[in-house]
Structure 1
């Protein structure tokens, strides 16, 4: 309670080797009204504990985008 965001999870099982990048799907699609956008940002805990981040931070979610992110280990 009180968090400003939601946790997103991969819709597939995958492992990232050190210094590897991958497109990771979430299986989530939403409709964003024209003139608006959504943003995805990595959690600091995930980055500090596991060294994992999103390459294009913040990740822009366009109109009717399916959430797929470039994740870096």
Structure 2
């Protein structure tokens, strides 16, 4: 069975009893968060993530931020 297109790439997370879906958009460096039952309201958070291979000369020594569910939970709470 194929996955629905609207949820492709999104991961589930529950914060304070509310269900959300989130994903890291690697092309823009934004974490996209929306309620699990709607796609109309979206929270986009710039966490400063950049692909180190795309910025090789400038940022070769820097380590990219690891986006974990805890980072996403904090973004939702700060909203």
Q: TM-score with structure 1 length normalisation?
A: 0.33
Superposition TM-score, scaled by structure 2 size:
0.32
Question: Whose helix proportion is higher, 1 or 2?
Answer: 2
